[in-house]
């Protein structure tokens, strides 16, 4: 059975994929459906949902279109989540590979640095970093990656430690290959599968961290974010709860979708590896 067929047989994986597809569709279609600035005033303030069909989800305290903000928020969440996870996986793989392959002092130093990063809670690290450097999309991505790369680094190192004893690494040395070329061309690609298996959890966590940062007012101020929307709605939680509930639901569904689809992919491909 092909991995795709096996994936399609898991209802939770399919549900995750559908949620994820909806999120991607929202993110991609935002500029076409809402060509204007999502942060611009679009109508009267605090218009409830389903009243005016040109503003289906109503408006917030400043009269901004909630649906447009939701779509643009999907863009931010997805962009930050994917970029931060990619950065964390890249940093982690490189650090883990160097530590595991070089061994000795290099390994010792790199792993102590990893320990140091791991003792500080990731969110605190991100918070401190953004407060010091200032909020912008790039900084938020780096801040989240700083708190997440240690997990992939440890997994990559463990994998590299077992791979570097294989004959083909000795073969590469005998052929005269440079140690860095051996580490990154021969060893790293073969150490990646278990590292990549962590991506669904990492992307989901990154999306949540981004939301939490923008909820605290540390997101990019020039972009619509779900965290920022929830924070905005908090002031009128009693009279207009939908302002917080709508982005909150979007966030939960997104994290759920990423996680379920990611786990589905990992499981179906892992089964295939196990069988072959």
Partner 1 sequence: MNLLTVSNLTKRYRRGGKTIAAVDDISFHIEPGETLALAGPSGSGKSTIARLVLRLIEPDAGHIEFEGNDFLALSGAALRQRRARLQMVFQDPLAAFNPRSTVARLLDDPLRIHGIAARAERPRRIAALLERVGLAADLAPRAIHEISGGQRQRVAIARAIATKPSLIVLDEAVSALDVSVRGQILELLLDLQRQERIAYLFISHDLGVVRAIAHRVVLLEAGEIAECGDARTVIDAPQSAIGKALVAAAPRLNRTRP
- Nearest CA among 102, 146, 193 for reference residue 110: 102
CA 208/CA 248 separation, integer angstroms = 11
Number of Cβ atoms within 10 Å of the Cβ of 195? 25
> Which of 134, 179 has the CB closer to partner 1?
179
Residue selected from 60, 159, 186, 263 as contacting partner 1 according to rule CB under 8 A: 186
Residue selected from 5, 35, 54, 176 as contacting partner 1 according to rule CB under 8 A: 176
> Which of 112, 167 has the CB closer to partner 1?
167
Copy the structure tokens of residue 169: 């690494």
Residues in contact with 105: Cβ distance below 8 Å, sequence separation at least 6, in sequence order: none
Number of Cβ atoms within 10 Å of the Cβ of 79? 16
Binding mask 223-262 for partner 1 (x = CB under 8 A): ----------------------------------------
- State the DSSP code for 176: T
Is residue 193 a contact residue for partner 1 (CB under 8 A)? no
Of residues 136-175, those binding partner 1 (CB under 8 A) = 166-168, 170-175
Is residue 104 a contact residue for partner 1 (CB under 8 A)? no
- Token pair 């290959």 is found at 177
- Minimum distance of partner 1 from residue 192's CB (angstroms): 10
- Minimum distance of partner 1 from residue 78's CB (angstroms): 30
Name the strand (E) or helix (H) holding 189: helix 188-196
Is residue 9 a contact residue for partner 1 (CB under 8 A)? no
Is residue 56 a contact residue for partner 1 (CB under 8 A)? no
Burial class of residue 2, CB neighbours in 10 A (0-12, 13-18, 19+): exposed
- Minimum distance of partner 1 from residue 187's CB (angstroms): 9
- Minimum distance of partner 1 from residue 14's CB (angstroms): 30
Is residue 106 a contact residue for partner 1 (CB under 8 A)? no
- Minimum distance of partner 1 from residue 8's CB (angstroms): 27
* Size of the residue set binding partner 1 (CB under 8 A): 15
Q: Which residues of 226-256 are buried (b: 16+ CB within 10 A; e: fewer)?
A: bbbbbbbbeebeeebebbbebbbebbebbbb
- Nearest CA among 126, 138, 268, 135 for reference residue 200: 268
> Which of 85, 156 has the CB closer to partner 1?
156
Is residue 118 a contact residue for partner 1 (CB under 8 A)? no
Chain residues that interact with partner 1, rule: CB under 8 A: 166-168, 170-178, 186, 189-190
């Amino acid at each position: 059975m092909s991995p795709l067929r096996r994936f399609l047989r898991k209802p939770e994986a399919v549900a995750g994929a559908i949620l994820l597809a909806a999120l991607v569709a929202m993110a991609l279609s935002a500029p076409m459906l809402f060509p204007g600035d999502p942060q611009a005033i679009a109508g009267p303030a605090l218009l409830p949902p389903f009243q005016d069909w040109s503003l289906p989800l109503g408006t917030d305290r400043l009269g901004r279109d909630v649906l447009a903000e939701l779509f643009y928020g999907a863009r931010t969440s997805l962009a930050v989540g994917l970029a931060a996870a990619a950065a964390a996986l890249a940093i982690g793989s490189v650090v883990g590979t160097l530590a595991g392959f070089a061994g000795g002092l290099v390994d010792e130093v790199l792993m102590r640095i990893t320990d140091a990063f791991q003792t500080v809670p990731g969110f605190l690290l991100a918070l401190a970093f953004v407060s010091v450097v200032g909020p912008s999309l790039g900084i938020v991505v780096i801040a989240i990656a700083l708190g997440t790369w240690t997990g992939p680094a440890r997994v990559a190192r463990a994998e590299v430690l077992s791979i570097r004893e294989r004959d083909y690494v000795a073969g590469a040395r005998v052929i005269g290959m440079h140690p860095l070329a051996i580490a990154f061309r021969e060893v790293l690609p073969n150490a990646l599968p278990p590292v990549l298996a962590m991506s669904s959890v990492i992307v989901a966590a990154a999306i949540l961290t981004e939301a939490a940062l923008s909820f605290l007012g540390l997101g990019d101020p020039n972009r619509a974010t779900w965290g920022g929307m929830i924070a905005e709605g908090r002031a009128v939680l009693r009279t207009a709860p939908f302002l917080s509930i709508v982005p909150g639901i979007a966030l939960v569904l997104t994290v759920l979708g990423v996680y379920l689809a990611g786990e589905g992919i990992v499981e179906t491909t892992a089964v295939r590896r196990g069988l072959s």
